[in-house]
A and B are shown apart, each in its own frame.
Chain A
Amino acid sequence: MLISNLHFENKWYNASEFEELYAQSANPFHPTCEKFHIIIEQRTGMLMDSILRLLCLCNQLVAVKKIVILQFNGNINLNNTYSYFNRCGFFDNLDIDVDVIPCVPGSSLAKIYNGNSQTLVEIAPIKTQPDKQDLSIPSKLCNRLMANIGIDDDDFSNELFTILGELCDNVWQHSNSVSPGFACLQFYRRTKKIIITVSDSGIGLLNSLRPHLATNYPELVKASDHDLVMTMFRDGLSSKPLETGRGAGLSRSAKYALAHNMHLHLRTSNLSVTLIPASTEYQANVAEFQNEPNHLNGTHISFEFTLNNLKV
């Protein structure tokens, strides 16, 4: 039996570091791989964007009948990641077929304390079935963050809402998946860092766009993934007919993100990139494209910023 391993050590992992580590694992989606074994050490720390990717990865693998083991080492009562996963709702959204060692928590701290943290907005599932859209997600995320960061600025609140609304809507519009997406928001008080992250397990943003390039943007048919990503965030692209007027959401979100010096992380099935603000746009020469990330379905976008860099 071929087993792929993913071993988180006693250190913090953001999205980029998650991808670097995961890239060292054998592709767990490969037909010859039967089992995916994840180990989390007692002092592992994971930022929210890496947590959502791990959640999606686990759920995607069990959906294709892989055996997935999520093992927490050491004393789970002292394992910070285990308790944080419980608190943020990770286990509530984890597929029941994932084998958690030593065990899934007996009770969900996310459900018990839902809405009561000043720094965490619990993982919210974005359901993709018709009539199941939860319209409250962007508002709740936004309201909680604005209440906790002590900024009273209606424009900033609306800019944040725009980013959240457009990201959530992209899951609904483009994921083409019955599996839910996830949205989450974390405010790290010590560093004053905020991470907004939305992940789904669908076909991926670029795979959604490419079939329609010949009709909508013939000049981009031969564009690389790199160039498509930059165009998407700079000018906007749509998979729908141009007369519908769609495709401006991500570019507008990127514009607001730039104004507040936010770093933007995008991960699709075969592309992982970090866009860093440079002047008035995200520029290719300051984008960090990671070569050949390991396979992960869906689109995973996160915006990362610090309070000190906000222009309010």
Chain B
Amino acid sequence: MNQNKLTLQLADFMSVECNPDGTKDGWGVEFGESVRDALSQQVNAHPEIDIFEISFKGIKRIDVSFPREAVLYLAKLKAGKQGFVLTDLQTRTQIENIDGGVHRLDFAANLIVSDDIQNISLGADCIVNGNHIILGKPSKTNRPLVEYVLRKNGAPTSEIAKEFDLQVNNASNKLKQLVDEGFLLRKEQSAATGGVEFYYYPIK
């Protein structure tokens, strides 16, 4: 199933003096909130978009508060409707600071990282699928479902239920929880048996 995507450059929403090398830095709650407000306007102007790629190109440094306020909080508000994947992160520290916000907000962050950052040690509270990293820890019983959807790059409820020997409504509840926690998105599609069912897919 194809998803509609749009790339937004986070630096374009940051009204701050550039560093001598032309990059920008983001820090603090207030600044994060102001960027979120600007970003929200763009997001709200595109209800047809399933996944927004938020590029950190041109952003040199961030603290813990800024990405949480600017992006993660917005992603949480849009959970289940639209997804956000963070791209073009430069350093391990940027990822660790984003992780700080994930842990506190109790909402997953989806990242696409380059090969040289891919191998950094992030601990157990993340799911790695190639260069797609999800910061966050699903429950022990739900984690295999996320990993399955990532491996298959998407799957309907019925297939997932069959794979894990679950009743469909039980699988549906678990998957809905994963959507609410930011690990997956879902769309309605026609079911093989007639009627509609949800199709779950990664946010990348």
B13-51: CB near A (< 8 Å → 1, else 0) gives 000110110000101111100000000000000000000
Question: Which chain B residues lie closer than 8 Å to A168 at the CB level?
Answer: 27-28
Which of A155, A157, A162, A172: most chain B CB closer than 10 A?
A: A162
Which single member of B19, B20, B31, B103 contacts A248 (CB below 8 Å)? B103
Is A154 part of the contact surface with B, judged by Cβ < 8 Å?
yes
| Selected interface stretch from B94-102, B165-173, B185-193 | B94-102
Question: Which chain A residues lie closer than 8 Å to B31 at the CB level?
Answer: 133, 135
Q: Is the CB of B16 within 8 A of A135?
A: yes
Knowing A158-B93, A245-B73, A252-B97 touch, does A165 contact B103 (C-beta < 8 A)?
A: no
Interface of A, secondary structure class, is helix
- Give the distance in Å from the alpha carbon of A277 to the alpha carbon of B106 in the complex: 29
Q: Is the CB of A162 within 8 A of B97?
A: yes
Which single member of B16, B66, B97, B106 contacts A136 (CB below 8 Å)? B16
Knowing A245-B106, A246-B65 touch, does A139 contact B25 (C-beta < 8 A)?
A: yes
Knowing A139-B19, A252-B64 touch, does A161 contact B25 (C-beta < 8 A)?
A: yes
The residue in chain B whose Cβ has the minimal distance to the Cβ of A157 is B61
Q: How far is the CB of B71 from chain A (nearest CB, A)?
A: 12
Which of A165, A166, A168, A246: most chain B CB closer than 10 A?
A: A165
The residue in chain A whose Cβ has the minimal distance to the Cβ of B23 is A139
Which of B28, B31, B105, B106: most chain A CB closer than 10 A?
A: B28
Question: Which chain A residues lie closer than 8 Å to B30 at the CB level?
Answer: 133, 169, 172
Knowing A135-B16, A135-B17, A135-B31 touch, does A165 contact B104 (C-beta < 8 A)?
A: no
Is A173 part of the contact surface with B, judged by Cβ < 8 Å?
yes
Known: A139-B17, A154-B91, A172-B28. 9 other contacts (CB 8 A): A133-B30, A135-B27, A158-B93, A161-B63, A165-B28, A165-B63, A166-B63, A247-B104, A252-B100
> Could you pull out 19 A-B pairs where Cβ atoms are within 8 angstroms?
A135-B27, A138-B63, A139-B17, A139-B19, A143-B19, A155-B91, A161-B62, A161-B63, A162-B97, A165-B28, A165-B63, A165-B65, A166-B64, A169-B27, A173-B29, A245-B101, A245-B105, A246-B65, A249-B63
Q: Which 7 A-B pairs have the closest CB atoms?
A: A165-B27, A245-B105, A165-B63, A158-B93, A245-B104, A169-B28, A161-B61
Q: A residues within 8 Å of B by Cβ?
A: 133, 135-136, 138-139, 142-143, 154-155, 157-159, 161-162, 164-166, 168-169, 172-173, 236, 243-249, 252, 256
